[in-house]
Amino acid sequence: MSLNIPSLEAPHKTTTTNYAELLSRYVQIPSISGNEKEAGRFWSDTCQKAGLKVQIFTDEQDSYNFAASLYPLESRKPNIVFINHIDVVPPGNSDAYKHPPFSGAIDNNEIWGRGAIDNKGMAVMQLGAVEKFIKLARTTELPYNITLLSVSGEETGGHKGAKVVSEQFLEILNPSVVFGEGGLGLPKVLSRNPDMKVFGIAVSAKRRLWLELKLGMNTSGHGSVTPHNYVVKEKIFAMNNLLEWERKLFFSKTTDIMFSSLGKLEGGIKGFILKNLRYFKPFLNKTLKRNEIIHSVLTNTITIIGVNTPAGPPNQIPQEISVILDCRLLPDIETNTFIEELKEVMDCKEIQFNIILEDKNAKASMPELFYSKMEKAIKDVFPGSEVIPIISPASDDNHFFRYHGIPVYGLLPVFMDISYMETVHNVNERLPLFALQQGIDIYAATIKNILN
Ligand SMILES: [Zn+2]
């Protein structure tokens, strides 16, 4: 099918300015997880005014979820879904910001504030792209619907957002594919050619397993007479075992695809090693440990987030201690197997394991049809760039849809320096204006490639 699709040529200056102002206004409405409704209302009104058909799925203070589409969802067309989240993480130390966290300041061609990248900026890019097709959809019966799906609570596990939508509204949403968060385009990925723009599209993600490890012991309570064993001492021994644990490297079909694509681009000896990484396994662990990102996609990572004892004076021995672990498991690892392994390594039978949060184990989305449409879009916008499928070390809402067998591809469709990404969940979060336009262009080219 060939359609007369609007040209997606050079960025239009006024348009970029308008989208920057729109993002600025969206950032100015604080929407820390649990309080999404006001920002969500602003965003659904914006989509409606733009000419999209809005359907609100849930309308609660902490669970505002809606779809904004070219055609009403009742049309039952197969749907190309662009997911974004309304909520943001708390700003942290506001004094450390150059511009207040919810200022939405536009300074030096950057839009400042919490959510500017994660994830309100991405939502504006999606709207900017989908908007281009409204007129076409009115005059032509397109084979697909195109939907912006805005959800709550991504930062706290997605249970009030993507989970609700994927469990209760999947049929009406009818997604053929979901495009969400994940990788982005970066320089300096290839040592052979550091100027090469390499975009990583996430086809899978590690999953969260948040654990509380509790240890209780009845010992004497006075710090002046040290008991043989007491909770803090036992826990430190056990945690030490955990920290010294040499973790195994895991390879799967997805890691094979990722490293063989990277190896092909890299070429030479390094490329050969990357392509055949699993055969070099015995030699890899030490070398890879130095590369935190590669290491994180081949191992289950464990981060100790906090150690807590009940409040008391400095001379009182606590009877209870708990440790919080943020574990990120590779897609093929079972929770129970992993916990049993932890127990063995820590070697302290009295520790109780409680699961605080666990993401579902979802199969990777193989890089197929819709992946190739996005890949082509990236190359249309950035000729000479390369695209590889990756496993995202962070988890997001994507797994809720992968779990239902829907392909999900994760990409913040911009090419920018990693230093911008480091402001995400940090102070001085900001998005450069050029990135807004890039995002709109790549999303629009993706839609165009799908419709053609
Ligand atoms: Zn996010």
**pLDDT (tens digit per residue) in 343-397:** 999 999 999 999 999 988 898 999 999 999 999 999 999 999 999 999 988 889 9
Q: 346 and 403 in one domain? A: no
Q: How far is the CA of 404 from the centre of ligand 1 (A)?
A: 21
- For residue 253, which of 283, 273, 278 has the smallest C-alpha distance? 278
Q: Residues of 155-168 as b/e, b for ≥16 C-beta within 10 angstroms?
A: bbbbebbbbbbbee
Q: Are residues 109 and 28 in the same domain?
A: yes
**CATH number of the CATH domain containing 414:** 3.40.630.10
Does residue 140 lie in a domain region?
yes
Instruction: With cut-offs at 50, 70 and 90, classify the pLDDT of residue 2.
Output: low
Tell me whether residue 380 is in a domain: no
The pLDDT of residue 158 is 94
Distance 275 CA to ligand 1 centre (A): 31
Residue-number span of the structural domain to which 412 is assigned: 13-181+390-451
Whether 258 maps to a domain, the answer reads yes
Ligand 1: distance of its center to the CA of 44 in Å? 18
pLDDT at 9: 44
Asked if residues 176 and 76 have their Cβ atoms less than 8 Å apart, the reply is: no
CA of 154 to the centre of ligand 1 (A): 7
Asked whether the predicted pLDDT for residue 275 surpasses 70, the reply is: yes
More confident residue, 173 or 245: 173
**Average pLDDT value for residue range 434-450:** 97
Tell me whether residue 365 is in a domain: no
Six token digits for residue 125: 């890019």
Strand intervals (E) in 267-407: 301-308, 320-329, 352-358, 386-392
> What per-residue confidence (pLDDT) applies to 385?
94
Inter-axis angle of helices 120-131 and 433-451, to 10 degrees? 50
What DSSP assignment string belongs to 34-63?
Answer: T--HHHHHHHHHHHHHHTPEEEEEEEETTE
Look at residue 77 and tell me whether its pLDDT is greater than 80: yes
Could you tell me which residues come within 8 angstroms of residue 5 by beta carbon, excluding any fewer than 6 positions away?
133, 136, 448, 451, 452
Rounded to the nearest whole angstrom, what is the distance from the C-alpha of residue 316 to the centroid of ligand 1? 42
* 8 pLDDT above the threshold of 60: no
- Which one has a higher pLDDT value, 17 or 91? 91
What is the whole-number distance in angstroms between the Cα of residue 102 and the centre of ligand 1?
A: 17
Query: How many angstroms separate the alpha carbon of residue 86 from the centre of ligand 1?
Result: 9
**Spatial distance between the Cα atoms of 54 and 51, rounded to a whole number of angstroms:** 9
CA of residue 85 to ligand 1 center, whole Å: 7
Q: Domain check: are 294 and 395 in the same one?
A: no
Distances (CA, A) of 197 to 210, 241, 248, 416: 35, 41, 31, 9
* Burial 377-409, CB ≥16 within 10 A → b, else e: bbbbbbeebbbbbbbbbebbbbbbbbbeebbbb
| Residue 135, domain member (yes or no) | yes
369 inside domain: no
Q: Is the pLDDT reported for residue 137 higher than 90?
A: yes
Using the mean position of ligand 1's atoms as its centre, give its distance from the Cα of residue 223 in Å: 45
- Residue finishing a domain among 358, 382, 404: 358
pLDDT at 427 over 80: yes
Q: Check whether residue 55 and residue 168 sit in a common domain.
A: yes
For residue 410, give Cα distances in angstroms to 13, 54, 79: 28, 24, 17
**Residues 247 and 152 grouped into a single domain:** no
Statement to judge: residues 332 and 405 lie in one domain:
no
Find the 155 Cα to ligand 1 centroid distance in Å: 7
In whole angstroms, what is the distance from residue 231 CA to residue 202 CA? 42
Assigned domain for 150 exists: yes
Q: Which of 358, 380, 412 is the last residue of a domain?
A: 358
**Residue 285 clears pLDDT 80, i.e. is over it:** no
Averaged pLDDT for residues 329-340: 91
Q: What is the pLDDT of residue 253?
A: 84
pLDDT at position 10 is: 44
Is the pLDDT score of 289 beyond 70?
A: no
pLDDT band at 331 (very low <50, low <70, confident <90, very high): confident
Q: What is the structure's pLDDT at 15?
A: 62
Residues 96 and 37 in one domain: yes
Measured between alpha carbons, how far is 351 from 288 in angstroms, rounded to an integer?
Answer: 31
Q: Which residues contact 312 (CB under 8 A, 6 or more apart)?
A: 318
The CA 259 to ligand 1 mean position distance, Å, reads: 25
Tell me how far the alpha carbon of residue 153 lies from the centroid of ligand 1, in angstroms.
10
- Does residue 151 share a domain with residue 29? yes
Percent of the chain predicted with pLDDT > 70: 94
Q: Above 90 in pLDDT, residue 407? A: yes
Identify the pLDDT of residue 344: 94
- CA 88 to ligand 1 center in whole angstroms: 8
Of 315, 338, 358, which residue constitutes the final position of a domain?
Answer: 358
Ligand 1 centre to CA of 397 (Å) is 8
Distance 221 CA to ligand 1 centre (A): 45
pLDDT in tens, 89-126: 999 888 999 999 999 999 999 999 999 999 999 999 99
Please give the average per-residue pLDDT across 403-429, as a whole number.
95
**419 and 344 share a domain?**
no
Residues 57 and 169 in one domain: yes
Centre of ligand 1 to C-alpha 432, Å, is 17
Look at residue 286 in the predicted model and tell me its pLDDT.
66
Q: What is the 54 CA–ligand 1 centroid distance (Å)?
A: 22
The CATH number for 224's domain is 3.30.70.360
Neighbours of ion ligand 1 (CB under 5 A): 118-119
Pick the more confident residue, 296 or 314.
Answer: 314
Q: How far is the CA of 89 from the centre of ligand 1 (A)?
A: 9
CA 431 to chain centre: 17
Same domain as 175, residue 212: no
Per-residue confidence (pLDDT) for residue 325, from 0 to 100: 96
Residue 260 CA to ligand 1 center (angstroms) comes to 28
CB atoms within 10 A of CB 347: 11
Domain count of the chain? Answer: 2
148-180 pLDDT, tens digit per residue, is 999 999 999 899 999 999 999 999 999 999 999
When pLDDT is cut at 50, 70 and 90, the band that residue 410 belongs to is very high
Q: What does the pLDDT read at residue 11?
A: 43
Is 41 inside any structural domain?
yes
- Using the mean position of ligand 1's atoms as its centre, give its distance from the Cα of residue 396 in Å: 7
> Are 318 and 239 within one domain?
yes
How far, in Å, is the centroid of ligand 1 from the Cα of 119?
A: 5
Rg over CA atoms, the chain: 24
Q: How far is the CA of 58 from the centre of ligand 1 (A)?
A: 20
Look over the chain and give the mean of its residue pLDDT values, rounded to a whole number: 91
Alpha carbon separation from 403 to 2, 249, 326, 410 (Å, rounded): 33, 24, 22, 15
Residue 310 pLDDT exceeds 60:
yes
Rounded distance from Cα 425 to ligand 1 centre (Å): 9
Return phi, psi of residue 212, to 5°.
-115, 125
